[in-house]
Amino acid sequence: MGRTLGLIADRVDAASHECEVAVNEVLSPGLRRLVLRSPELAGLTTDPCDVTAFRVSRTDFRHYTPALLDQVGGGSAEVTIVVQRHAGDVAHDVPTPGHDLVEGLAVGADVRLCQWSSTRAFHWTTEERPVLLLGDATVISLALAMERRARSEGRDLMTVLEAPPPDVDAARALLPEAVVVPADGEPGAATDAWLATNLVALCALGRQGAGEPVAYLAGHGPSIQRQRAFLREHVGLDRRSVRTQPYWAPGKAGL
């Protein structure tokens, strides 16, 4: 989580949306669903890959992906974010600024939500091509956003996510059309094994005349590097068709 100059952080904060916590519920030991409501969100739109943030200190922000943005009655809208607490944090009770903030938000509390946007290197493609998404439980919000958009655009989407065993059922309930594999051993190892045993299905994605798939790899940084190499070497994806966004790595604070 990179630090921001205080003056710039103040400007970002001043442009944030004033929201009220509508829902803050635990879905499983490592997953939480946060819903924020505000008239300031009414009429706004969000794209898959957009990122928002909460200010957690004078110079720090904690970033999250908006999963869903829904217009509701009374001239307001609600944004949903699925937050994952890393298994290591659960096991060792390691506090982080983002977890402390999100887990402490009571229903009805006021909170400021930063405006969202995506980067040039990691954004939703407007090309009508199939999409492949690989990641872990930190990517569930992104997966929900992509699922809704792909469905509305009539595009094929294959999602493969790795989740800690205690969170697998909740992840599958949120994303019933996705492949959710239980984490086993090193981060990304279960996804690596799934890719190796489902090579035919991966190679078939996009062979219906819709063009080469666009692959989005997010979550654990070292896993992204391995899986990008696998897709290029064994599936034959062009490097320009693989988009990456690391969210975390061992020993680092993350985004």
Phi, psi of 11 (to 5 degrees): -70, -40
Residues 240, 252: Cα–Cα separation, whole Å = 28
CATH class of 6-113: mainly beta
What does pTM read for this prediction?
0.91
Per-residue pLDDT at 88 = 47
Per-residue pLDDT at 23 = 98
**Distance (Å) of CA 22 to CA 81, 119, 196:** 12, 29, 42
Residues 151, 160: Cα–Cα separation, whole Å = 17
Residues 125, 242: Cα–Cα separation, whole Å = 11
* Domain range list for the chain: 6-113, 131-248
Phi-psi domain of 75 (left: phi exceeds 0; alpha: psi -120 through 50; beta: other): left
Per-residue pLDDT at 209 = 60
Per-residue pLDDT at 231 = 96
Per-residue pLDDT at 92 = 40
CATH class of 131-248: alpha beta
If the chain, 255 residues long, is cut into consecutive pieces of 10 residues, what is the mean pLDDT of each piece? 62 89 96 97 96 85 94 94 71 57 93 93 91 96 98 95 97 98 95 96 77 93 96 94 91 60
Tell me whether domains 6-113 and 131-248 share a fold: no
Residues 184, 190: Cα–Cα separation, whole Å = 6
